[in-house]
Structure 1
Amino acid sequence: MEKKNFDVNSLIGFVLIGAILVWMLYLQKPSEEEQAEKAKTEAAAKQKENSDTKEDTTLEEATQELASVNAQDSAAVANLKNRLGSFAYSGTLPSATENTTVIENEVLYLEVSNKGGYITKARLKNHTTYDSLPVSLIKDGNSTLNLQFSSENRLLNTKDLFFEPSLSKNGENSVLTMRLKTSENNFIEYRYELLPDEYMLNFSIKSQGLDNVINTSQPIYLDWNFKGYRHAKSITYENRYSRLTYEYEDEDHDKLSPTGEDDELEKDVTWMNFRQHFFSSMLLTDTPFKEVSFTSKDLVEDEEIDTVYTKKYGAKMLLEPKAGGLSYNMNMYYGPTDYQILNDYGRNLDDAMPLGWGIFGMINKYIIIPLFGFLSGFLPAGIAIICLTILIKLLLSPVQYKQYLSQAKMKILRPEIEEIREKYGDNKMKIQQETMKLQSAAGASPLQGCLPALLQLPVFYALFTFFPSAFDLRQKSFLWADDLSSYDVIAHLPFHIPFYGDHVSLFPILASIAIFIYMMMTTGQTMQAQQQPGMPNMKFIMYLSPLFMLVFFNNYASGLSLYYLTSNLITIGIMLVIKNFIIDENKVHAKIEKKKKQPKKQNRFQRKMAEMMEQAEEQKKAQKRK
């Protein structure tokens, strides 16, 4: 067997091969320049990967980042522009700061933000809140206006992007254009034009040169969200008359619920009003919005706690682009919910006010509002209320005379009706039959007293809706009331009573006393004495009405309570005059007796009723014989 020895030559060969490999690796090592470029490329790739996966990075952040990034960092700039798409042009960004531009006139102060291009402050110069602060309809982010559309497979929101402002004059009008650009000549534009002494401003949205940027096959929405600030002393009372109203489809009008949450989808909407009782924020359009999704949410849960906002409103409007792009001519209104102001603008804006429907609204528009406007033009507001009430009561006095005459006749017939009840005992059918015969022969009927009262109801209800919406009463004082559009206070309570509040108002107390006296003179003297089984307890009603006034009107406008107090005092006075100087009950009684002796010709209805009652009486006797 051959013996194996160590091969020195092989060892030397392996060493030489290893040295050669080390030398080759050294020669292939990248230079410092190459290493720096590689590190930069890896950083850019990592940044791109993060931007693709980090979904909560918004366009707003990208825009702001693009405004401040080092322009020499080409990879970072390219990445940010990729996230912004065509609207990365705004990265030159002289406007990419949250600055605002002011436009104002004698009555209205507005601030429009570069970010989003919408109004971020709207203040009424000539009006203050209950605590003497300026009335601001928009401030501190309570309102946003956002145009939402698709572009390059992205959903863009203009509220996150920056517009370029340009302020100019058109005669006496202030004109502000806000442009969201993709290039110098391609942009989305908001245009605001404010006229002197006007709460209404012209507003338009248009696009130029963006046919290949805005995806018109996807829906385009204008989204307006708004939270109404509290302006009145009683947030509960103010909130009751704060409501979203709108016009749609051939001048129809509707509104969302004033309580809880409500929503509605409407077609062809021409205007909407985010009403806050005495102040309104409105959007009107010359081209009806094809479809609008409305939402409303009541934010008042406890008057003692929730004292900042009343309602949260929303309107998401579907826009229809034309051949040249978007083009909508609109108006915005930030001002008082005043009938005279809104009516002067036309466009059915007076229907944005809660004046009642049908005949009630007509009475307000064509009688009460013009009459009160005339009186308040030269009289203090409280005196104007009293004079208005006197004129209306005098106008209705013939109706009230008929009502009292009917009550007087029923009072005279009361002894004979009592005799009929005693005579026929438990025979209710016979009692009713004989009572009707007596009333027919005497020319008296309870219905004759009810009919005049029904004729007065439209006027009373119209006045009930007028006073809470009368802007002319706002912050007008009378006697101890500081503000006739809010409750008066004669004492503060150390605790809060449900439905009543934490204060005592005097006008509702006086009105309750007047109502009670009136009920005693009418219900207490007539209906209560004629109480029949199955009929409402009139004595209970007599006490309920003043109690209702006392409790629930404690937080209502003192002007409304002043009207009820004046109205009932005048009614009591008219009744006393009629009773003591116009109607002689002895003469009325003599006429009744004379009329009873005359043959009474029954009409067809009366004959039919008499026949039916006689048949019912015969059937009852037949059943007894069985």
Structure 2
Amino acid sequence: MEQKKFDYNSFIGMILLGGIMLWYFGTNKPEIEPEQTTTEQVVKANADKANTAFEAKPTFANDSLKQIALTNKLGAFAQSAINGSEGTTAIENELLKLTIDNKGGQIVKALVKNYKTYDSLPLYLIKENNASFNINFGTTDNRILNTKDLFFEPTFTKNGDNQVLSMKLKVSDTQFLEYRYEIKPDNYMVDFSVRSPGLSNVINTSNPINLDWTLIGFRNEKSIKTENTMYSHFYYKADGEVDDLGAGNTEVINNVNWVAYKQHFFTSNLLTNTPFNNATITSTDLVKDEKIDTVFTKKYELKTPLTLTNGELNYNMKWFYGPSDYNLLSSDAYAATDLDEIADLGWGIFGFLNRTVFYPVFNLLKGFLSNYGLIIILMTIVVRIIMSPLVYKSYVSSAKMKVIRPELTALNEKYPGKENAMKRQQETMAIQRKAGVSMLSGCIPALLQMPVFFALFKFFPTNLALRQESFLWAPDLSSYDIIFKLPFNVPFYGDHVSLFPILASVAIFFYMKMNQSQQANMQAPTQEGMPDMSKMMKYMIYFSPIMMLFFFNNYASSLSLYYFISNLLTITIMLVIKNYVIDEDKIHAQIEENKKRPEKAKSKFRQRIDTAMKQAQEQQAKQKK
């Protein structure tokens, strides 16, 4: 077969034809005027026009459908939802910054300036939707609405130095629901009013109008146990009295003047000039395990119906977001509110001592010193000096009992056995009476010191001035100190070792050791059938320091510091009284002199006691026969 050969003529022809075509297209390109856009720009512009033209009709249709849907859902308030927009407005002063959201017209952030959390973060009482303020109401066109779902229109103005924010949920320019906030300089209290001018024909008066304020408390302190369990409470004032609601409880109360959602050192309060009636308050503990780190402490809720005046809402209220500081809340700016009672100074005589003695002394010392550890030490010295006469009285009674103790021992030997118990008791009281010795004279000084102990037990852990103030190794006197972190948790003790409770426990041990002999003198000789108190005292010497070591390990280091210094001073005062003040020879001579004096006429109370004892003795004798 004949092979095909390469055709050079055809190849050359194709090359020439291709060259001609390239020359033709290169020399005949359309000219582009300078004003013209590029092809890419033209394509994009045309596409945008096409899209605009394409979307114009559907957007108009969607808006119309949206307006119809909102009108069906919201009725007279539909226009506020249509015109409303997302956004926030802030009002603030030197102490407080509040951020109010257009949606709901409510506070969504409450920053307490000049304070930090235990981990050095800005201290917010409200943030990240942990609070909700809502008014639920019905309309005359049979709709049920919630303000938290609706958009308010903000208007920011100034009233002198005050900042004013008006949030209006409008039906028209003359018909609206208004939240009005006004913040003054240098004040934690914010005026807050709720008004509904022109809405008498819009709000359905046959439906209840309910206010609902809920807040979930953020953890702000190092010890979740003390913050949540001991010092976070739902306080309220009703019928002129301040009370608190225990966690896990719900109550319905009337004539409520204010509610306070307290979290140890800080509080969120709502006050009203028109008392709430039939208000339901609830406190819920959110901490399931105190050993686990947590963000929240308690959930507080207030649900209360609002009343209409001439068909409209007209409530003047106040918000308070700030510290639960007794010095602040008892000042003239807040005195008429009774908010100082949420500072938790204790009830009865304990609160009285804190208000009238310990806070004035503490504030006086604070004016001279800036180191709060030294203030506590000086305050302890002042308290112990004031209490020293009671220690002296107790020691004198102990010395007197020591002198007559041999006589009481002889009396036990003279009248042995249970059958002589009444006679022995009568003779014992006669000896004490002749010598001018009273068992109560030794007990009363110790009892009088107990209110001081319990008052200070409240004073130090709740004193805001001590919060995040350091002393020696303790970074925060309002919380426990840590010298060693344990890798495990000890029941009733914790996962750390605090040094101040150890020092206080050691001081208590030596104090009780020294006090043992004094207590032994105060006791009458052990009688048959009666427990031996001296043995119990021996157990108490060891039990009390151990109990304090465990109990105070999670408490404020300022409290342990006080008890440590207090016991050291008490030991010193006891040594001075024992070695330099009391003269047992003089006491013995005085007792002998008392015995020689004619016995005073018995009081009616003493006569009744003697008669009762005599009758009991006769009854005992009859039973024996």
Instruction: Name the TM tier (shorter chain).
Output: 0.7 to 0.9
Partners of 1:211 and 1:531 in 2: CA distance: 83
Aligned 1:12-51 pairs, distance under 5 A: none
Aligned 1:19-418 pairs, distance under 5 A: 70=60, 74=64, 77-95=67-85, 97=86, 99-151=87-139, 152-239=141-228, 240-249=230-239, 251-257=240-246, 260-323=247-310, 325-344=312-331, 345-346=334-335, 347-379=337-369, 380-418=371-409
Partners of 2:167 and 2:603 in 1: CA distance: 77
Equivalent residue for 2:617?
617
Deviation (angstroms), 1:339: 1.3
Equivalent residue for 1:425?
416
Deviation (angstroms), 1:126: 0.8
**1:360-400 C-alpha deviation (Å, 9 max, x unpaired):** 22222222112201211221111111111111221222222
Deviation (angstroms), 1:621: 2.2
Structure 2 length as normaliser, TM-score?
0.85
SS at match of 1:231: coil
Partners of 1:196 and 1:314 in 2: CA distance: 29
Partners of 1:324 and 1:518 in 2: CA distance: 71
Answer yes or no: is the 8 Å Cα contact 2:84–2:151 preserved in 1.
no
Partners of 2:543 and 2:526 in 1: CA distance: 17
Equivalent residue for 1:17?
none
Match of residue 430, structure 2, among 410, 434, 437:
437
User: Cα–Cα, structure 1 residues 311 and 535, in superposed 2: closer, same or farther, change >3 Å?
Assistant: farther
1:492 matched to 2:480: no
1:515 matched to 2:508: yes
Equivalent residue for 1:54?
none
**1:513-560 C-alpha deviation (Å, 9 max, x unpaired):** 222222222345424965562577333333332222110110000111
User: Cα–Cα, structure 1 residues 582 and 163, in superposed 2: closer, same or farther, change >3 Å?
Assistant: same
Deviation (angstroms), 1:610: 2.3
**357-366 vs 137-146, greater mean Cα deviation:** 357-366
Equivalent residue for 1:474?
467
User: Cα–Cα, structure 1 residues 165 and 606, in superposed 2: closer, same or farther, change >3 Å?
Assistant: same
Answer yes or no: is the 8 Å Cα contact 1:204–1:327 preserved in 2.
yes
Equivalent residue for 2:448?
455
Partners of 1:76 and 1:201 in 2: CA distance: 37
**1:553-607 C-alpha deviation (Å, 9 max, x unpaired):** 1000011111111211111111111111111112212222232233322333223
SS at match of 1:92: helix
User: Cα–Cα, structure 1 residues 117 and 71, in superposed 2: closer, same or farther, change >3 Å?
Assistant: farther
Answer yes or no: is the 8 Å Cα contact 1:488–1:505 preserved in 2.
yes
**Structure 1 unaligned runs (5+)?**
1-67
Answer yes or no: is the 8 Å Cα contact 2:67–2:78 preserved in 1.
no
Structure 1 length as normaliser, TM-score?
0.84
**1:205-225 C-alpha deviation (Å, 9 max, x unpaired):** 111211111112222121110
Deviation (angstroms), 1:495: 0.5
Answer yes or no: is the 8 Å Cα contact 2:70–2:81 preserved in 1.
no
Answer yes or no: is the 8 Å Cα contact 2:268–2:320 preserved in 1.
yes
Q: Which amino acid aligns with 1:554?
A: N
Partners of 1:531 and 1:238 in 2: CA distance: 47
Q: Which amino acid aligns with 1:77?
A: Q
User: Cα–Cα, structure 1 residues 301 and 408, in superposed 2: closer, same or farther, change >3 Å?
Assistant: farther
1:526 matched to 2:525: no
Q: Which amino acid aligns with 2:207?
A: Q
**586-595 vs 139-148, greater mean Cα deviation:** 586-595
User: Cα–Cα, structure 1 residues 367 and 175, in superposed 2: closer, same or farther, change >3 Å?
Assistant: same
Partners of 1:69 and 1:491 in 2: CA distance: 67
Answer yes or no: is the 8 Å Cα contact 2:257–2:275 preserved in 1.
yes
User: Cα–Cα, structure 1 residues 254 and 69, in superposed 2: closer, same or farther, change >3 Å?
Assistant: farther
Deviation (angstroms), 1:198: 1.9
Equivalent residue for 1:3?
none
**1:29-79 C-alpha deviation (Å, 9 max, x unpaired):** xxxxxxxxxxxxxxxxxxxxxxxxxxxxxxxxxxxxxxx974566455323
Deviation (angstroms), 1:354: 0.4
Deviation (angstroms), 1:324: 5.5
Deviation (angstroms), 1:166: 1.5
Partners of 2:494 and 2:60 in 1: CA distance: 62
User: Cα–Cα, structure 1 residues 141 and 91, in superposed 2: closer, same or farther, change >3 Å?
Assistant: closer
Deviation (angstroms), 1:430: 2.8
Q: Percent of aligned positions with the same letter in both sequences?
A: 54
What count of residue pairs does the alignment treat as equivalent?
A: 553
User: Cα–Cα, structure 1 residues 575 and 215, in superposed 2: closer, same or farther, change >3 Å?
Assistant: same
Q: Which amino acid aligns with 1:430?
A: K
User: Cα–Cα, structure 1 residues 125 and 587, in superposed 2: closer, same or farther, change >3 Å?
Assistant: same
Answer yes or no: is the 8 Å Cα contact 1:299–1:306 preserved in 2.
no
**1:143-166 C-alpha deviation (Å, 9 max, x unpaired):** 111111112323221111111111
**281-290 vs 224-233, greater mean Cα deviation:** 281-290
Partners of 1:505 and 1:415 in 2: CA distance: 46
Answer yes or no: is the 8 Å Cα contact 1:385–1:563 preserved in 2.
yes
Answer yes or no: is the 8 Å Cα contact 1:190–1:203 preserved in 2.
yes
What's the C-alpha RMSD, in Å, of the aligned pairs? 2.0
Answer yes or no: is the 8 Å Cα contact 2:258–2:272 preserved in 1.
yes
SS at match of 1:148: strand
Partners of 1:495 and 1:113 in 2: CA distance: 45
Partners of 1:339 and 1:75 in 2: CA distance: 57
Partners of 1:500 and 1:580 in 2: CA distance: 39
SS at match of 1:522: helix
SS at match of 1:468: helix
Partners of 1:591 and 1:524 in 2: CA distance: 22
**1:314-344 C-alpha deviation (Å, 9 max, x unpaired):** 1112211101510111111111111121122
**472-481 vs 541-550, greater mean Cα deviation:** 541-550
Partners of 2:83 and 2:107 in 1: CA distance: 20
Partners of 1:525 and 1:451 in 2: CA distance: 15
Answer yes or no: is the 8 Å Cα contact 1:300–1:306 preserved in 2.
no
**1:287-312 C-alpha deviation (Å, 9 max, x unpaired):** 22223211101122212325211111
Answer yes or no: is the 8 Å Cα contact 2:211–2:304 preserved in 1.
yes
Deviation (angstroms), 1:349: 1.4
**Structure 2 unaligned runs (5+)?**
1-57
Q: Which amino acid aligns with 1:355?
A: L
Deviation (angstroms), 1:424: 2.3
User: Cα–Cα, structure 1 residues 341 and 331, in superposed 2: closer, same or farther, change >3 Å?
Assistant: same
Deviation (angstroms), 1:438: 1.6
Partners of 1:189 and 1:221 in 2: CA distance: 16
**389-398 vs 485-494, greater mean Cα deviation:** 389-398
User: Cα–Cα, structure 1 residues 564 and 70, in superposed 2: closer, same or farther, change >3 Å?
Assistant: farther
User: Cα–Cα, structure 1 residues 114 and 73, in superposed 2: closer, same or farther, change >3 Å?
Assistant: closer
Q: Which amino acid aligns with 2:465?
A: D
Equivalent residue for 2:537?
538
Q: Which amino acid aligns with 1:619?
A: Q
**281-290 vs 598-607, greater mean Cα deviation:** 598-607
Q: Which amino acid aligns with 1:565?
A: F
